[in-house]
Structure 1
Amino acid sequence: MLATLIAGAISISAAAVFSFAFLSRMVERMVSLSVGILLSTSLLHALPEAFESGADTHALFATLLGGLLGFFLLEKFAILRHSHHHEGDGHGHEHGHDKHEAGRSGWMILVGDGLHNFTDGILIAAAFLANPNLGIITALAIVAHEIPQEIGDFIVLLNAGFSRVRAYAYNLICSLMAVVGGIVGYLMLDRASGWIPYVLVFASSGFIYIAVSDLMPQMQRRATVRETIPQVLLVTVGVCVVLFLTGRMHLH
């Protein structure tokens, strides 16, 4: 429990310091970095790990489909997105309406992040039960892996209109899901271990949906070559950071 709590708190705090100190003035541009981080975390790490687990492939794809459709419905009904428009578009919405609308991506990223942290807690518990030293290494590796992902989450939340305090507070609450996952993993490891691939896939579906549905369309609205080149470079940087850190995770 202590390892899951520390892992979550350290990764959240480090990501917050980096995001708020260096990236807050470039949130709009850093959306591109977030796309690279979210897509590469999902497609190059979480999903391969899930599909290599030996779980039923058809069931995993069904979970992925269900997750994508579920986040679509969440966007439609729970977040009450009625239309897609922009401030100053002449539609007569009250000031700040777009900021409110943009918040849907923030809430969905928090749901996906909470599920991902829950899975990390299960993984840490499994490692500690196998070997305490392995548990410590696993927790440290997860901290290294979580920092770039949490930076991406902070960028999404700031872009969605969350204040710095709210973004940090909600991310910190989500990090507590790692403690819940650690407890579940410790008490019901045999049964919980079978859930891990499906939780990974469902969490990944949320990250993919956010990147493709909300963030990439924002990037597409800036279509000049001068704006496109930095976008491509930042997406590439996000992918490379995740590739580097997930490669280090294989130490455990």
Structure 2
Amino acid sequence: MSTLTWIIAASLLGGVLSLMLAAILAFKARVSWLSILISYAIGALLGVAFLNTLPEALEHADNPTQVTVFVLFGILVFFILEKLVLWRHCHVADCEAHDPLQSIAATPANHHDHDHGRSGIMVIVGDTFHNFVDGILIAASFMVDVQLGIVTSIAIIAHEIPQEAGDFIILLNSGYTRRMAFLMNLLSSFATLVGGVLAYFMLNEMDFLILPLLGIASASMIYVAMSDLIPGLHKRPEIHATIQQVILILLGIASIWMVGNIFPHT
């Protein structure tokens, strides 16, 4: 397949697959399933960052410092962006907007205490931007190597499922019906395709941006894993929960390593 076909397929499949699984998790409100998936997603994100995107970026760089500067820049940018999103729609001590486990656990079967859609709109706007950036990262990865694109797409899908599940819960709490929540998330997921296609044509003309994007992609995965997902696991300090989390994180890393060996560099 052509590079553009890979990008389109990964963007569409990733969006639809993560959306369907997130809907099942959210509507069934199975916290235990989501906890398992979050642990796996952490491993997948860290596996792609440290086993694939960072080594690839170092190969393209004349100096390793170039890569570390882009990673540092990316982490700071994502920190600022997350602060802006939190400031705009989190006004309580324990914000559920970025914690899908807390959102589902705190949501009774028939929840009617909603905010007339305000939180839901903010979540969709933020998620649309997030999906657009994911599309850019997918495109940049596939333009370097098909193997890198595949493992990057897997990691993005893995971390999108718990995030989308949390979005579903927030939309329901905001007064949206299940159908409307699904449709809004579906429309938001198309931003991945838009970002991927636009990035493909942009990078064909400006391939010097591939190195910075690889560094920022690494920063994105590290930041999401360490800042957004891992803190939620610390809420279950029991030894059996910790062992389960470590095993699932290692499984996520191992699966990325295995995919990298199944799909050789092109």
Same fold by TM (over 0.5)? Answer: yes
**Do the aligned residues in 2 keep the contact of 1:32 with 1:235 (CA within 8 Å)?**
yes
Which residue pairs with 1:85 in the alignment? Answer: 94
Matches within 5 A, 1:1-252: 1-17=4-20, 25=30, 26-80=33-87, 84-85=93-94, 110=131, 112-120=133-141, 122-123=143-144, 138=146, 142-143=149-150, 146-160=153-167, 161=170, 163-186=181-204, 188=205, 192-252=206-266
Distance 1:96 1:151, change over 3 A: farther
Q: CA deviation at 1:107?
A: 6.8
**Do the aligned residues in 2 keep the contact of 1:121 with 1:179 (CA within 8 Å)?**
no
Q: CA deviation at 1:234?
A: 1.3
Which residue pairs with 2:109 in the alignment? Answer: none
Aligned partners of 2:132 and 2:220: how far apart in 1? 8
Aligned partners of 1:105 and 1:36: how far apart in 2? 24
Cα deviations by residue, 1:186-208 (Å, 9 ceiling, x for unpaired) = 4x1xxx33221210111221221
| Identity percentage of aligned residues | 19
Cα deviations by residue, 1:102-158 (Å, 9 ceiling, x for unpaired) = 95995785365233123135347xxxxxxxxxxxxx3x8834652353132222232
Aligned CA RMSD, in angstroms, stands at: 3.6
Letter in 2 for 1:85: D
Distance 1:235 1:108, change over 3 A: farther
Letter in 2 for 1:10: L
Cα deviations by residue, 1:211-240 (Å, 9 ceiling, x for unpaired) = 111211110111001221221121111111
Distance 1:50 1:39, change over 3 A: same
Greater displacement, 198-207 / 241-250 = 241-250
Aligned partners of 2:226 and 2:10: how far apart in 1? 29
Q: Secondary structure at the match of 2:60?
A: coil
Distance 1:18 1:42, change over 3 A: same
**Superposition TM-score, scaled by structure 2 size:** 0.69
Aligned partners of 2:138 and 2:157: how far apart in 1? 11
Q: CA deviation at 1:83?
A: 6.1
Aligned partners of 2:126 and 2:224: how far apart in 1? 6
Cα deviations by residue, 1:48-100 (Å, 9 ceiling, x for unpaired) = 11111134322221111111111111122244156652679xxxxxx679xx5
Aligned partners of 2:252 and 2:16: how far apart in 1? 19
Q: Secondary structure at the match of 1:176?
A: helix
Cα deviations by residue, 1:30-64 (Å, 9 ceiling, x for unpaired) = 21111111111112111111111134322221111
- The count of residues paired between Structure 1 and Structure 2 equals 228
Q: CA deviation at 1:2?
A: 4.2
